[in-house]
Amino acid sequence: MANSQLINEPLLHIQNLRISALAYPSDAAPYLVNIVDDVSFTLGKGRVLGLIGESGAGKSTIGLAAMAYGRGGVHISGGQILLNGIDISAASKKSLRKVRGMQVCYVSQSAAAGFNPAHRLIDQVIEASLLNRTASRDEALARATALFDTLGLPDPENIGQRYPHQVSGGQLQRVMTAMALCAQPDLIVFDEPTTALDVTTQIDVLAAIKRAIKKTGVAALYISHDLAVVAQVSDEIMVLRNGQCVEHGDTRSIIETPQQNYTRELVNVRSIDHQEKKPDATALLRVENVTAMYPGADVEVLQDVSVELSAGQTLAIVGESGSGKSTLARLITGLLPPTKGSVTFDGDILPPALKQRSREQLRQLQMIYQMADVAMNPRHTISTIIGRPLTYYFNLKGRARKQRVAQLLDDIEMGGGFADRYPAELSGGQKQRVCIARALAAKPRLIICDEVTSALDPLVADGILKLLLNLQQRENVAYLFITHDLATVRAIADSIAVMYQGQRVRYGPKSIVLTPPYDAYTDVLLSSVPQMKAGWLDTAIKERA
Amino acid sequence: MTSLFLLAAIFAPWIAPHDLGDTVGGVWEPSSSEFWLGTDNLGRDLLSRMIYGARTTIFIALMATALSFTLGSVLGLGAAVIGGWLDQVLSRFVDLLMSIPTLIFALVVLSVLPANLITLILVMGILDATRVFRLARAVAVDINVMEYVEAARLRGEGKIWIVFREILPNALTPLIAELGLRFIFQVLFLSALSFLGLGVEPPDADWGGMVKENKDGIIFGIPAALIPAAAIAILAISVNLIADWVLNRTTDLKGGRSGQ
Amino acid sequence: MSYLLTLVAKRLAISALLLLAVSALIFAGTTILPGDVAQSILGQSATPEALANLRRDMGLNESALSRYISWLGGIVQGDLGKALTNGTDIADAISKRLYNTVFLASVSAIIAVPIAIFLGLMAVRYKNRWPDKLISGSTLAFISLPEFFTGYLLIYFVAVKLGWFPSVATVYESMSFTERLTAVALPAATLTLVVLAHMMRMTRAAILNVMQSAYIETAELKGLSPLRIIARHAFPNAIAPIVNVVMLNLAYLVVGVVVVEVIFVYPGMGQYLVDHVSKRDVPVVQACGLIFAAFYIGLNMIADIVSIIANPRIRHPR
């Protein structure tokens, strides 16, 4: 960190920033809401500040404000934004155009959407440099190629000739970083750059970004909801909640000695204590040597996979995208019959197709989805959603049904007042809880949880996991827990199956699976998971080399 | 805006005619000044003809819309939910029908069919059902892939439940918005057909036919033909506005927009 | 590149097939439907002999399939048959009128398309400000106006009261280009007005859709000027949807032409078809129907092909 001290004035100085937007409730007059409330910080040249918080905390808004940009109707209603000594909070559009792309650049969350599909990558990468006249075409091209190399992209001389759709997600994210660095700005705003990537891709991109920041000495705002990731790249961290600053300090202090409760919760995320259970003699669910293909395709999505699950326990299926874990769920539920192999439930072989199964068989196996928004019919009330299985499976009607719905609402820690609401009125965590209640209503023996916490904020997800564990204790229901998040697996699993490209790579009780020696893939997977430790990234990269 | 709506509404339920209490086909008085809108090319009172024309036009258009809408929606939703060969066959057939411009096809078919009310409504209804089919099917397919439909299927719910309790409530909004547009289309279509001499037979009055009857006067500076034409336009505009208004209202309702 | 050509060729083949199927449909529509054609032509009081003669002349005694095939065969050779009402050669009559119709349609298209795109761009540039509201509001009204309303309105005010243009658009072969244009002015104006409203709304929607993409935000955050953003980033992606819109509306023009020709007594295909429909002249109706359908299918096909070509994923596959 060569330029760590302030020379003349800080690069970015934000003072009492307030950003507001109009909220439009459906039955009242629009009113002003503060997305960001009284936030102040200073960023020196060459320093990296991590902005961490859950969704709605305002971190992206602050990042964009550093470029005096407001997405979707938000406007800067108070405070100052001093960039290189000049207040840009009230600057004209014309002067802002000189700031953006030259002094401050932006790397967005989804590089796939952020690139224009109609132009080659290289044209888009050097565009800002050329237009702001900071370089000639040759200079810009040379700079871009050098950056591609620094960022670890394959074939740096020619990759720019490709179109966005011809390049993978992780590579696109790096190209976007190159685009931001090519203009040689003073500050880059990284807006959740690795959130959409697989964990094994993420570590490479993170390392690439860190390398590039070091080499060019650029300052950065690194925005994420994942504290472990932010801790690897940042010198300082600011914790945000509901638009306000909760805590601000250098990385080591925040991670090792957090002062505020909220920060402590974030640091200790996924530290649920769960005693691993030993498997029973007779398994509740037995999947034997299944192979599956999608109709019309000729590639095997699952190859010879076998797993077992005992009653009242949790089997975690871990894998990245393309591993086949969701396909396994579809196979077990009967949506995709296997081409080979069988599934046994409670001693009986399950008919491979959904149509062939009895209502009783269907009742005992329930499923919860990743996106609770689309898992519930927006036109049904909560009581209809939870109550339908009660009527369908147990013929409960009228008062008996109402009572049972109320009981279930209590079980998921939501009050009876929710019964008449609609899904659109609930928060993300509440929606998922309702889906859990719907699954529970059928009194199943096994619930398949398909990435149920992946779309939720870390603390909300913790709440859901704790709820699931409690319910498991009470109802003795088994979980087939599909996820890509190893921290979750560590927290709640009894046994684990690791999947890679349709095959089961590693399988067994948790304690054994998570202890070395590992096979090649599990090794890469486990070592790619960011740890809540400063300096983890550097060690991990060194070990790889 | 709502006053235009009232205008259209006044036109329609005038079943008991105002001025001349004769059923259509009676003898009309010639001459001009005491008649509000003057007389038409045969000396008939334009105002009364307009009122009867309103009834005819709106009635036929409504019938045709009802036919096309029911036929199109039922087939469209069915094709989406049942899938398989039924879907393929219906979709291909609809694609084929839609490759011919509606007016042309109507002209072709009406050139050989007997000219009565039922045929007219049938032709108009069936041709337009293709567009409703496309929309209904697209909407149903979109909803069909949502996880809540899959959740219902996993529960073991039968097709009937899925169509009526899961798909239909969410499909209604876009379909109803389309209803208004279809009605306008039928009004315009009917008027065009009558104008070209293929719609309602004289002496029955419908607005399109009235334009045809009076069009020769235009060259001599007699604006008689403009009046039914204007009426058609006003009806179309006001229905458009109502449809817009309805659409805006329903998307505010409880969970109106799925996934928001 | 070859992948692209394959796709385009496939599209051409599908359109050809579609045209064939449509011809069958038209043929079926006129011959298989209930109602004795000969009876309808000759009316109630026809003698049985007259009916039998007519049926024989029309070839109604042979099977439908053989009649269809001989009809198709004739078309391929350029022979569209003879009109029932006066025995004139259909292909002959059509060729003159086809030129007239295409002329009228083209003039309208040339005026309407640039104006519609321009207005669409303006509406997006000043989104939600008064130009946008004005343009959107008036187009909403215009969409609902039937062709004969605008047509007769124009005739009444412009031709009769003001006398600027003729109210009856007669054209004949020896006319000069400018004379033709004057004759066609009012019908073209009517057509343009009808199509303009639709096209403008759809263009506006298409451009807005593109402007809301994430890469437009990226461009803005790179500090690019609005002009550059629209020209270099929005426009290439908007071409396909806009062409689609234009083609769809041109296809609509094909239909609108029919009514407009009747309003202005313009000697084109539309007038020809309508005249013979009421006379139940089946061969003419079949021939005209087929030609209109061919135009419609052709325009839709061009729209599809442009979409294919404009898609970079297809031009440069992985």
Per-residue pLDDT tens listing for chain A (545 residues): 444 444 556 788 888 888 888 877 766 788 888 888 889 988 988 889 999 988 888 888 899 888 888 887 788 888 888 888 888 888 888 888 888 888 899 998 888 888 998 889 999 998 888 887 767 888 889 989 998 988 888 888 888 898 888 888 888 888 999 999 888 889 999 999 888 888 888 888 888 888 888 888 899 999 998 888 898 899 999 999 988 898 999 988 888 888 888 888 888 887 777 777 777 778 888 898 999 988 878 888 899 999 999 888 999 999 888 888 889 999 999 888 999 898 999 888 989 888 889 888 899 999 999 988 889 988 889 999 999 999 999 988 889 999 999 999 999 988 878 888 888 888 888 999 999 999 999 999 999 999 998 888 888 899 999 999 999 989 999 999 999 888 888 888 999 999 998 899 999 898 888 888 888 888 888 888 888 887 888 888 887 76
Residues 6+ apart with CB under 8 A from A410: A416
Predicted ipTM? 0.78
Q: How many whole angstroms from its chain centre is CA C213?
A: 32
Contact B197 C278 (CB under 8 A): yes
Question: For residue B164, what pLDDT is reported?
Answer: 82
Query: Is the Cβ–Cβ distance between B50 and B110 less than 8 Å?
Result: no
Residues 6+ apart with CB under 8 A from C131: C122, C123
Question: For residue C61, what pLDDT is reported?
Answer: 60
Distance CA C9, CA C5 (A): 6
**Res C152 pLDDT > 80:** no
Q: How many whole angstroms from its chain centre is CA C51?
A: 37
Instruction: With beta carbons under 8 A apart, name residues in chain B contacting A447.
Output: none
Question: For residue A468, what pLDDT is reported?
Answer: 92
How far B102 CA lies from chain C's nearest CA (Å)? Answer: 8
DSSP-based three-state secondary structure for A57 = coil
Instruction: With beta carbons under 8 A apart, name residues in chain A contacting B174.
Output: none
Q: How many whole angstroms from its chain centre is CA A63?
A: 19
**Res B31 pLDDT > 50:** no
Question: For residue B40, what pLDDT is reported?
Answer: 60
Q: Return contacts of C164-170, CB within 8 angstroms, 24+ apart.
A: C167/B218, C167/B219, C167/C264, C168/B219, C168/C264, C168/C265, C169/C264, C169/C265, C169/C266, C170/C265, C170/C266, C170/C267
**Res C62 pLDDT > 70:** no
Of B195, B233, B237, the CB nearest to C259: B195
Question: For residue B257, what pLDDT is reported?
Answer: 35
Question: For residue A4, what pLDDT is reported?
Answer: 43
Instruction: With beta carbons under 8 A apart, name residues in chain B contacting A380.
Output: 169
Question: For residue B198, what pLDDT is reported?
Answer: 76
How far C219 CA lies from chain A's nearest CA (Å)? Answer: 9
For A9, the enclosing helix (H) or strand (E) is none
Residues 6+ apart with CB under 8 A from A119: A163, C232, C233, C236
In the A/B pair of chains, how many CB contacts fall below 8 A?
63
Average pLDDT, chain C: 77
Question: For residue B253, what pLDDT is reported?
Answer: 44
> Tokens representing A445?
């023996």
Amino acid at B131: R
Query: Is the Cβ–Cβ distance between A143 and A178 less than 8 Å?
Result: no
Q: How crowded is the C-beta side of A298, counted as CA atoms within 13 Å?
A: 0
Q: SS3 string of A301-320?
A: EEEEEEEEECCCCEEEEECC
Q: How crowded is the C-beta side of A175, counted as CA atoms within 13 Å?
A: 33
Distance CA A47, CA A214 (A): 10
Distance CA A401, CA A387 (A): 7
Question: For residue C107, what pLDDT is reported?
Answer: 85
> Tokens representing A183?
């203009």
pLDDT band at C151 (very low <50, low <70, confident <90, very high): confident
Query: Is the Cβ–Cβ distance between B176 and B250 less than 8 Å?
Result: yes
Instruction: With beta carbons under 8 A apart, name residues in chain B contacting C286.
Output: 108
Question: For residue C39, what pLDDT is reported?
Answer: 62
Distance CA B198, CA C27 (A): 20
Chains touching chain C, criterion 3+ CB pairs below 8 Å: A, B
CA distances (Å), C41 to each of A270, B104, C31, C276, C279, in order?
85, 20, 13, 11, 7
Angle subtended by helix axes A199-216 and A169-182, to nearest 10: 10
Distance CA C52, CA C42 (A): 11
Distance CA A439, CA B147 (A): 14
Question: For residue A51, what pLDDT is reported?
Answer: 93
Question: For residue C175, what pLDDT is reported?
Answer: 64
Distance CA C251, CA C242 (A): 14
Question: For residue A238, what pLDDT is reported?
Answer: 93
Q: Give the angle A176-A179-A181 at the CA atoms, nearest 5°.
A: 115
Query: Is the Cβ–Cβ distance between C270 and C260 less than 8 Å?
Result: yes
Region C236-262: what's the mean pLDDT?
A: 81
Angle subtended by helix axes B168-195 and B46-82, to nearest 10: 140
Highest mean pLDDT among B227-241, C32-46, C123-137, C208-222: C208-222
How many residues appear in chain B? 260
Distance CA C108, CA A40 (A): 61
pLDDT band at B79 (very low <50, low <70, confident <90, very high): confident
C residues 154-173 closer than 8 Å to B (CB):
155-156, 159-161, 167-168
Highest mean pLDDT among A249-258, B169-178, B216-225: A249-258
Highest mean pLDDT among B240-254, C40-54, C64-78, C260-274: C260-274
Instruction: With beta carbons under 8 A apart, name residues in chain B contacting C264.
Output: none
| Interchain CB contact of A333 with B (< 8 Å) | yes
Query: Is the Cβ–Cβ distance between A374 and A450 less than 8 Å?
Result: no
> Tokens representing A181?
């660095």
Question: For residue B29, what pLDDT is reported?
Answer: 37
pLDDT band at B254 (very low <50, low <70, confident <90, very high): very low
Angle subtended by helix axes B226-250 and B207-214, to nearest 10: 150
Query: Is the Cβ–Cβ distance between A328 and A317 less than 8 Å?
Result: yes
List residues bridging with A198 in a β-sheet: none
Distance CA B212, CA C263 (A): 9
Instruction: Judge if the upstream peptide bond of residue B203 is cis by omega within 30 degrees of 0.
Output: yes
Distance CA A97, CA A163 (A): 26
E strand map for A24-103: 31-43, 48-52, 75-83, 86-87
Question: For residue B92, what pLDDT is reported?
Answer: 84
Distance CA A432, CA A201 (A): 28
Distance CA A382, CA A436 (A): 12
Among A131, A469, A117, CA closest to A316? A469
Distance CA C215, CA C251 (A): 32
Residues 6+ apart with CB under 8 A from A364: A345, A346, A442, A444, A445, A446
In the B/C pair of chains, how many CB contacts fall below 8 A?
151
Neighbours of A189 (CB within 10 A): 26
- With CA atoms as reference, the chain B residue closest to A442 would be B155
Instruction: With beta carbons under 8 A apart, name residues in chain B contacting A374.
Output: 146-148, 258-259
Distance CA B94, CA C247 (A): 20
Region B45-74: what's the mean pLDDT?
A: 79
Torsion of the alpha carbons at A61, A64, A70 and A74, rounded to the nearest 10: 10
Distance CA A144, CA B145 (A): 43
In chain A, the N- to C-terminal Cα span, in Å, equals 23
Distance CA B150, CA A377 (A): 11
> Tokens representing A488?
């979750």
Residues 6+ apart with CB under 8 A from B21: none
How far B152 CA lies from chain C's nearest CA (Å)? Answer: 34
Contact B100 C273 (CB under 8 A): no
Neighbours of A447 (CB within 10 A): 25
Contact A114 C214 (CB under 8 A): yes
Instruction: With beta carbons under 8 A apart, name residues in chain A contacting B252.
Output: 26
Distance CA A256, CA A267 (A): 9
